[in-house]
Structure 1
Amino acid sequence: MRAVLFGLVIILVFAATRAGALDNDDPASSLIHDISLNITPEAAVEVAAGVEPGGLPSWTSILPPILAILFALLFRHVLVALFFGVWLGAFLISDLSFVTSFARLLDTHIINAMTDRGHASILVFSLLLGGMLGLMTQSGGAKGLASWVGTDATSRRRGQLTTWFLGLLVFFDDYANSLLVGSSMRPVTDRLRISREKLAFLVDATAAPVASLALVSSWIGVEVGYIADQFTQLGIDRDAYLTFIETIPFRFYPVLMLFFVAWVSLRGRDFGPMLRAERRAFHEGLVSRPGAQPASDFHEEAVPEHVLGRPMNALIPVAVVVLVAAIGIYVDGRAKVVSAGIDVSLRAIVGEASSSAAILWGTGAGCMAAFGLSVGSGALSFASSIDAWMSGMRSMLFAAVILVLAWALGGVCRDLDTASFLIGAVGDWIAPAWIPTTVFVMAALVSFATGTSWGTMAILFPLVVPLAHEIAPGNETILLGTVSSILAGSVWGDHCSPISDTTVLSSMASSCDHMDHVRTQLPYALLVGAVSVLCAELPVAAGWYGPWVGLLVGALVMVAAFESLSSPVRR
């Protein structure tokens, strides 16, 4: 793991050196800089010249995420790592003033992270869902669900495959996927001696990939919106939604990752840190590492002894969340479509709807359903139900703090224009056949460093789609490959980064130590990412074969690599 970390640092430092050496008269770099000047504020002028708005060299913009990732991976203290990463960013923004940076850290960067409407929605959603899970647990719902699902999940293989299948079913939102699947399956996987690290991987590796690929999800409006904006600006006469569908076979990483999760679950083999975690759980019965600090703390033993297992106390609230959220998306989206005079279609409805608001409505309704079932079934008194709800919300506070600090770090990275530095550092390497692969790597680096997939999409779409259109005009494969690489690379970095909100939520839902989850998951993501690039991205862009063949070749190579690297958990 440390070798991987220092390898990443070397890459970033090399990129910094390259950026500092860029000649502003170089045609390739000028093209990148010209595009930047058209879409970013005046600060981009200084970034293009190798200087940050505050007068510092542009390579310093990468220091806050590097520090946060170094501290998180080396010392396993994610809160401290994020805090000092944000502080370093504030220090650079505040003209290297120690006192001013500490003040801005507290009164600006953290406050801005908390008061952003989208961030506040996620915090409220997480707290409400935590309260609902607390009610489900203490009313016997989780116990009953574990027993009910356990009738089929009678082995480690079936338990892992069931988790994977549930992850595919909850396709409409990655946050809801992580929290619902992780918390529902945790009692089952604990009983089957599946490590919390493995559960967190199964949850995390299906949440964002399936949500990013789904034709109806909280991601679809964002993804189609970015595509449509670029097509409009470039005068490309294509339907953005149909283009989104056409990119699916080109999105090699998320598709191969979903297949990889199923294969790993089926085979009962692992490698690297995950193998050690699985053998510890299987042979010693320790689902968490001794001394681990779970990101949340739901205890099955908190259920009063007189409370029977009632699966309906868990199934009904979850069903209410899904149903109300789906109805909310339809009603809200349809009202906006009609108001705007757009042709009413499912695609338009989902694209216009406020999915974050609908999920909040669903979670609130789920809390009410869980409360009513707890009291109505006699499992808990009114006062005990209030206590259970509050206890569930308290269990989310640790993860909420991580989310706020991660968002604050993303904010200082935006202020420092970290992403533009990374793009400018490698922009002059791009040749037509290498565009999709280069874009995938750039998206992966940016999303890993900043911890945001949607933010990475917002940054890269206006930069690299015009670049691809300029370098390879009329090339269908390059255009679809470029769009796909932005979407897929953003998922890779968001999937792996210790400062990503979806990674945090997966740790939280699985009650797994956050850094244990990151360390055990990263080798698997690196394997799938490398296979995606070498066996699919590069050959398809070069015209050796089509995307479907690329997926087949990638799957075969990935299976062969996994089988050669892995060992049976039951040694």
Structure 2
Amino acid sequence: MRIRSDVFRRAGRWLLLPALVLPASLPGTAFAQDAPSLNVEGPAVVLTNVPFSLTLHTEDGENARYRVRSASGRELAAGDLPIRSETSVSGLRAAEGDLPLSVEMTSDGGSASASVDPPQFPGWISLLPPIIAIALALIFRHVVVSLFFGIWLGGFFIAGLDPLAGLGRTVDTFIVPSLADTDNASILMFSALLSAMVGVISRSGGTRGIVEALRPLATTPRRAQLATFFAGIGIFFDDYANTLIVGNTFRPVTDKLKVSREKLAYLVDSTAAPVVTIAFVSTWVGFEISLIRDGLRIAAEQTADPALAGALASASPFTVFLSSIPYLFYPILALVMVAAVIASQRDFGPMHGAETRARTGGGVFRPGSQLMVNSEETGLDAPEGVPLRWYNAAIPVLTVVLTVLFGLYFDGASEVGRGASLWDTFGAADPFKAILWGSLAGCLVAIGLAVTQRILTLSQALDGWLAGIRAMTMGFVILTLAWSLGEVTSQLATAPYLTQILEGNLAPELVPVITFVTAAIVSFCTGTSWATMTILLPLVVPLIVALGGATGFEAGGGELLVSSISSVLAGSIFGDHCSPISDTTVLSSMASACDHMDHVRTQLPYALVVAVAAMLFGHVGTSYGLSPWIAHLLGIGTVIVVLRFVGRPVPAGS
């Protein structure tokens, strides 16, 4: 999952993440009784000894100062309070029994005070909503109920252990704001428009035309999977576009050749974020470079070595990003694993059972599955006698791809100018605008082709358009609940708590692997790789510099620094890749019309094998002097050995 909102961009330091602006009716927000010009906004909950923030607002008062005191009178913070300002007081820690907090303001015009008394819990409470929701979904396979329970549990804590009030918070504090978020709304609209385009394409015979056109080439399950793999690599510029286009386009082909929906979802998911992460030109590059730049700046300010500080301050973030690519072991090995699985036609774990079922006539999805798209009853089949023309599918899809690419370029160029480099231009673009433009253009082209060729009337084309949207209803519900659970983890400060308990005094050689594990856990529990990167990179870069891992950076060295940066990126992707509440994981299930938890269960063993190889040979091996290229070879060898001795051949089928 990725979140481009300004909230997470400003949360580069995890100490600021728990600062939440809440309505006056919620716990944690207080207004001074004797000075209406002062009000205080605090977090939804306070975790014992985990840093949090307060936001102070005042309209008047000359020479104003504030003090924050615990219930026992201990001063937690103090400082100046500018007139007509919003002041954030960060880094506060409350021990057990410190609440309620009192905030006092004194000025030439008098004084005012306010009390802040949100619910207080031990830090481990913040882990319960995501862990319980994910565990229930894995065990019982009822993902909607499991996610809703996790969200309610978060509301239960925020409401001070009131179960009925927690039910209200489930809707008004988590679900509605998730839908109101502009980035989330853009993803839903893009998914709906792309699904609507697929509906028109299906009704006009374009989908079956693609199947017929690929029949001479994709004659075997291996070839169908290989075509899907190369299509995933080809759409390298955006993971959302990659997932939805590849899954929807190749699903009819893989269904025809009895490739399980679980395998298709794995292929789609494993060629989305891993490809986009390492591509020079993508919607991720600018975001990653901006975080690297911030981390280098913070490290330069904190180091006592003038030469190293100068080198860090003047280093090109893009050059550092390029240097980090060989150390992105998980994304690279994930792609290798996909290619090896396709080439060997061997599987292991639940995936082998899914493929055996599909090849032997048991169906491309498990009986009783809760399909993210009801591909069996959508009413999208082409009427009898409709010409099966492959280009009625290919042209709208190509329109989406080209429109997104041109949209990214022109939107980015409007920000940085036409003379900027291509990666700077793409990095400055708003990907949500581009994918919306592309999906809308694809819909219009698909309808235009169907109507002008007299294959469908305008009314029939619009019926297909609406049918495509209706087919995605379950996916939209799960996606919304996943975002809402992510908001729960944000308001409960799950990520700061995890980061705090996982950091400590470390040998610099261990920082990359511990960083990878930390990023994976945070990303898995929160369902967002972008927020995880935002939280950890400004922490990890100064940490590894302080531990001596950037020695020689000014002379072209500092491999541990580069490796640590890569560990954040790779670990975030691994956790996001495995998380049932990640939007890219949900979108992969949607595009493949697969049961979401079946996708998670079958993909997880492959991701774990890749992660272990990446940690062992990549992040540990290179920290102790192993060449990254040799580490990759050892990782590839591990993947091949596991497939050879653990994997079993998939039946050829009938």
Q: Could you state the TM-score of these two structures normalised by the residue count of structure 1?
A: 0.90
C-alpha deviation, 1:472, in angstroms? 2.1
Q: Which residue of 1 aligns with 2:271?
A: 206
Asked if 1:509 is matched to 2:591, the reply is: yes
Choose which of 145, 154, 157 in structure 1 pairs with 2:210. Answer: 145
Q: Which residue of 1 aligns with 2:394?
A: 315
Give the CA deviation at 1:473: 4.7
Higher helix share: 1
For 1:8-407, list aligned pairs within 5 A: 45-46=92-93, 54-235=119-300, 236=312, 237-299=314-376, 302-338=381-417, 344-407=420-483
Distance 1:294 1:349 in 2: 38
Kept in 2: contact 1:90–1:102 (CA 8 A) = yes
Cα distance 1:57–1:228, how it changes in 2: closer, same or farther (>3 A)?
A: same
The one-letter amino acid paired with 2:393 is: A
- Aligned pairs for 1:483-502 (under 5 A) are 483-502=565-584
Deviations 1:77-112 (A, max 9, x none): 111111111111111122212222211211121111
* Paired position in structure 1 for 2:111: none
| CA 547–524 in structure 1, closer or farther in 2 if over 3 Å, else same | same
Instruction: Give the distance between the partners of 1:48 and 1:169, measured in 2 at CA.
Output: 53
After superposition, the Cα gap between the structure-2 partners of 1:51 and 1:464, relative to the gap in structure 1 and judged at 3 Å, is farther
1:481 and 2:481 equivalent? no
Name which of 614, 617, 631 aligns with 1:535. Answer: 617
Aligned to 2:651: 570
1:552 aligns with 2:633: yes
Counterpart AA for 1:245:
L
Contact kept in structure 2, 1:134 and 1:298, CA below 8 Å: no
Among the aligned pairs, what percent are the same residue?
Answer: 47
**Greater RCO, 1 or 2 (C-alpha within 8 Å, sep 6+):** 1
Summarize the Cα distance change of 1:522–1:449 in structure 2 as closer, same or farther, 3 Å threshold: same
Q: Distance in 2 between matches of 1:477 and 1:348?
A: 25
Deviation at 1:48, TM superposition (A): 9.1
Matches within 5 A, 1:423-462: 423-428=499-504, 430-462=506-538
Partner of 1:524: 606
Choose from 412, 416, 428 the match for 2:488: 412
Pair 1:343–1:49, CA change in 2 (3 A): farther
Contact 1:194–1:282 under 8 Å retained in 2 = yes
Asked if the contact 1:48–1:424 (Cα under 8 Å) also holds between the matched residues in 2, the reply is no
**Counterpart contact for 1:281–1:287, Cα < 8 Å:** yes
Q: Pick closer, same or farther for the CA change 1:47–1:199 going to 2, 3 Å.
A: farther
8 A contact 1:208–1:491 mirrored in 2: yes
* Deviation digits for residues 412-467 of structure 1 (CA, Å, limit 9, x no counterpart): 11111101111111212632111000000011111111111111111111222221
Distance in structure 1 (CA, Å) of the matches to 2:141 and 2:98? 33
Q: Distance in 1 between matches of 2:631 and 2:648?
A: 27
| Cα distance, 1:41–1:69 mapped onto 2, change above 3 Å | farther
d(CA) in 2 for partners of 1:221 and 1:73?
35
Question: Structure 1 residue 233: deviation in Å?
Answer: 2.6
AA at the equivalent of 1:317: P
Distance 2:479 2:185 in 1: 10
Distance in 2 between the 1:526 and 1:429 partners? 27
Residues 321-365 of structure 1 show CA distances to partners (whole Å, capped at 9, x for unaligned) of 111111111111111113xxx952212211211121011111111
Distance in 1 between the 2:319 and 2:50 partners? 40
Contact 1:50-1:57 at 8 Å conserved across structures:
no
d(CA) in 2 for partners of 1:497, 1:433: 28
Unaligned runs of 5+ in 1: 1-19, 25-39
Aligned residues: 533
**Match of 2:504, SS?**
helix
User: Conserved in 2, the CA contact under 8 Å of 1:443 and 1:486?
Assistant: yes
Question: CA separation of 1:464/1:54 partners in 2, compared to 1, >3 Å: closer, same or farther?
Answer: farther
- Offset of residue 303 of structure 1: 1.5
Distance 2:404 2:524 in 1: 30
Of 348-357 and 504-513, the range deviating more from structure 2: 348-357
Distance in 2, matches of 1:351 and 1:50, equals 47
Instruction: Tell me the amino acid that sits aligned with residue 363 of structure 1.
Output: S
Cα distance in 1 between the residues matched to 2:599 and 2:528: 18
- 2:202–2:380: 8 Å Cα contact kept in structure 1? no
1:363-385 deviations in whole A, cap 9, x for unaligned? 11111001101111222111010
- Alpha carbons of structure 1 residues 117 and 284: separation in structure 2 relative to 1, 3 Å: same
For 2:651, what is the secondary structure of its paired residue?
A: coil
Instruction: Give the SS at the match of 2:503.
Output: helix
Q: Report the equivalent of 1:7.
A: none
Deviation at residue 558 of structure 1 after TM alignment: 1.8
Mapped contact 1:128–1:363 kept (Cα < 8 A): yes
Amino acid at match of 2:559: T
Given that 1:51 and 1:58 are in contact with CA atoms closer than 8 Å, whether structure 2 keeps it comes out as no
Q: What amino acid is aligned across from residue 114 of structure 1 in structure 2?
A: L
One-letter amino acid matched to 2:434: A
In structure 1, give the amino acid aligned to 2:133.
A
The residue type equivalent to 1:310 in the other structure is: R
Between structure 1 and structure 2, the one with the greater Rg is: 2
Are residue 561 (structure 1) and residue 642 (structure 2) matched? yes
- Aligned partners of 1:43 and 1:416: how far apart in 2? 16
Q: Secondary structure at the match of 2:120?
A: coil
Do the aligned residues in 2 keep the contact of 1:209 with 1:255 (CA within 8 Å)? yes
Give the CA deviation at 1:397: 1.8
**Structure-2-length-normalised TM-score:** 0.79
Greater fraction strand: 2
Distance 2:547 2:428 in 1: 33
Local SS of the residue matching 1:534 = helix
User: Structure 1 pair 358/49, CA: closer, same or farther in 2 (3 Å)?
Assistant: farther
The two structures, once aligned, show a CA RMSD in angstroms of 2.1
Verify the 8 A CA contact 2:48 2:122 in the aligned structure 1. Answer: no
Distance 1:102 1:223 in 2: 37
For the residues of structure 2 that align with 1:116 and 1:500, how far apart are their CA atoms? 16
* Distance across 2 between alignment mates of 1:343 and 1:50: 58
Matched to 1:264, the amino acid is V
